[in-house]
């Protein structure tokens, strides 16, 4: 689902102004003079102040003028219901426009909407195509989503070697979820030889980079001794954290091991 994160993805924030210049006034003057980036920046300032209809109008000007990231900002307003009831259909159409106007993060988020059926029917093939576009535009989240979708939908015939390569590129660039998804390919030998020890290192890297998916997977690697010796002490700490976040598989694993097994 599109959300406020998209206002900062690919996208940036309002430019800084000299202390004696009112940023809203300066952006408004530049926007009125035809500066699309200023229109987008003004929209962001208005969002921060809770003036959502005014922000939508400025984003619309920039989006209609060809600034893809402004289309994404506008989509966020509709998706989050900030200018009326939630309207994922409108958000999806705006992300299509943004994707066509050089906003790779728009392509990625559009893929998420196709995958989840937000704003229309589900279509995993179209989702993967948009993830591919986002990744090609150097949106690392797009590469991560592409790899995950390739793993989840083997029936679509995505080359596992290519998916693994894209995940490796994103993981090397410190995209934590990509490291987690890559670990699945490495553990199962998809697109290369299976390597449990390397899988364990990947989920640890993913966890270190802040991915909850990586931390959850690391817990199972540790308590089950995947890719190395079991470490019940660290593994149980991670399992308990995951269980508190309502990850059922973690709660079941704690019950299997016994709450005092560390």
Q: Which domain holds residue 94?
A: 1-13+22-102
Residue 204: per-residue pLDDT: 98
Predicted pLDDT at 23: 84
Spatial separation of the C-alpha atoms in residues 154 and 234, rounded to whole Å: 33
Query: The domain spanning residue 214 has which CATH number?
Result: 1.25.40.10
pLDDT at 7: 41
What is the tens place of the pLDDT at every residue in 32-72?
999 999 999 999 999 999 999 999 999 999 999 999 999 99
Q: Are 98 and 177 in the same domain?
A: no
Residue ranges of the chain with pLDDT lower than 70? 1-20, 259, 262
pLDDT at 22: 83
In SS3 terms, the chain reads as CCCHHHHCCCCCCCCCCCCCCCHHHHHHHHHHCCCHHHHHHHHHHHHHCCCHHHHHHHHHHHHHCCCHHHHHHHHHHHHCCCCCCCCHHHHHHHHHHHHHCCCHHHHHHHHHHHHHCCCCCCCHHHHHHHHHHHHHCCCHHHHHHHHHHHHHCHHHCCCHHHHHHHHHHHHHCCCHHHHHHHHHHHHHCCCCCCCHHHHHHHHHHHHHCCCHHHHHHHHHHHHHCCCCCCCHHHHHHHHHHHHHCCCHHHHHHHHHHCCCCC
Q: Give the residue from 102, 125, 144 where a domain finishes.
A: 102
Task: Verify that 96 and 168 share a domain, yes or no.
Answer: no
- How many structural domains are present in the chain? 2
> Are 162 and 261 in a shared domain?
yes
Both tokens of residue 181?
Answer: 């998804």
Which pLDDT score, from 0 to 100, does residue 5 have? 39
128 lies in some domain: no
pTM: 0.86
pLDDT at site 259: 67
- How far apart (Å, rounded) are the C-alpha atoms in residues 237 and 230? 13
Say if residue 6 is in the same domain as residue 97.
yes
Residue 36's closest CA among 12, 6, 7, 70?
Answer: 70
In a domain, 119, yes or no: no
């Amino acid at each position: 689902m599109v959300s406020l994160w998209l206002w900062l993805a690919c996208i940036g924030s309002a430019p800084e102004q000299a202390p004696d210049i009112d940023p809203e006034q300066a952006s408004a003057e530049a926007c009125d003079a035809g500066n699309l980036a200023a229109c987008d920046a003004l929209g962001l300032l208005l969002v921060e102040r809770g003036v959502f209809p005014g922000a939508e109008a400025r984003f619309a000007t920039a989006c209609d003028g060809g600034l893809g990231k402004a289309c994404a900002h506008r989509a966020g307003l509709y998706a989050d219901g900030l200018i009326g009831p939630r309207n994922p259909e409108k958000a999806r159409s705006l992300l299509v426009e943004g994707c066509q106007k050089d906003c790779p993060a728009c392509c990625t988020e559009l893929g998420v909407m196709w995958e989840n059926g937000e704003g229309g029917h589900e279509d995993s093939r179209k989702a993967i195509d948009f993830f591919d576009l986002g990744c090609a535009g150097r949106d690392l989240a797009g590469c991560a989503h592409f790899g995950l979708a390739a793993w989840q939908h083997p029936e679509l015939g995505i080359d596992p070697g290519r998916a693994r390569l894209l995940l490796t590129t994103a993981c090397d660039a410190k995209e934590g979820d990509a490291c987690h998804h890559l670990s699945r390919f490495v553990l199962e030998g998809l697109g290369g030889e299976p390597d449990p020890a390397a899988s364990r290192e990947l989920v640890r890297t993913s966890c270190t980079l802040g991915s909850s998916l990586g931390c959850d997977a690391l817990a199972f690697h540790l308590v089950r001794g995947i890719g190395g010796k079991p470490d019940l002490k660290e593994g149980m700490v991670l399992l308990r954290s995951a269980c508190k976040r309502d990850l059922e598989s973690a709660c079941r694993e704690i019950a299997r091991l016994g709450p005092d097994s560390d």
